[in-house]
Amino acid sequence: MIEVSGVTRYYGSGRVRHTALRDVTLSIGEGEFVSIVGTSGSGKTTLLNVLGGLDRGWEGSVKVDGREMRALSDRELSALRNTSLGFVFQHFNLLDHLTCQENVTLSSFFGSPVKDPAARADELLRKVGLGDKITARPSELSGGQKQRVAIARALFPGPKLILCDEPTGSLDYKTGMQILELFQDLNATEGITVIVVTHEDHVAKVARRRIRLEDGVVVEDEREG
């Protein structure tokens, strides 16, 4: 599913050059549930952005679903993100003037192959427990409900891989654990590969595999069982 080989990412130049990732090499198989854990500045979000094609200024090789990310044009990369990848962010990134249904269908405006966007959105909102919030707007939702809408949006194109950047960071403990249980269920029942970036150990432990970064280096790669 994912093959990362010798990836290094620098920011700045000369004396102010900062190394965010240092020769990172790892592989993640289809259907895995993986956490990438580390403190602020460890490189975990940079790595997630590299995997999702949001950052292209790195050295090395990254293959996602058999495709070398560096070889993709901007249009091909956009198409990959709109069909095979889903993103979930800490601050939800919902548009306040749109309903939940409309927020979920946003990728349909950028080339998603979904034939009936509204019906697909309604199905996904029911799946994440928001069947009664289809016409609600983000201002009417709790933080946990907003994140569920964001998850439904990530699922909209039918992705093989979901990338989550601190998905529980804006939620209380109980609500955060409910969101993580939803990811566990999606991984177990639909075989979606889930990668969660976090700085919290209790979040990282929900995954069956935990990769720890320190100063841009993988220092631990632990699997359950």
Long-range contacts of 10-13 (CB under 8 A, 24+ apart): 10/57
pLDDT in tens, 177-220: 999 999 999 999 999 999 999 999 999 999 999 999 999 999 99
Question: Domain-by-domain residue ranges, the chain?
Answer: 2-223
Q: What percent of the chain has pLDDT over 70?
A: 99
Structure tokens at 36: 């990438």
Residue 69: closest CA among 87, 37, 47:
47
pLDDT over 80 at 225, yes or no: no
Asked if residues 156 and 107 have their Cβ atoms less than 8 Å apart, the reply is yes
pLDDT in tens, 23-51: 999 999 999 999 999 999 999 999 999 99
pTM across the whole model:
0.93
Confidence of residue 138 (pLDDT cuts 50, 70, 90): very high
Reading phi first (left if > 0) and then psi (alpha if -120 to 50, else beta), residue 77 is in alpha
Nearest-5° Cα angle at 221, 154 to 22: 85
> What class, spelled out in words, does domain 2-223 have in CATH?
alpha beta
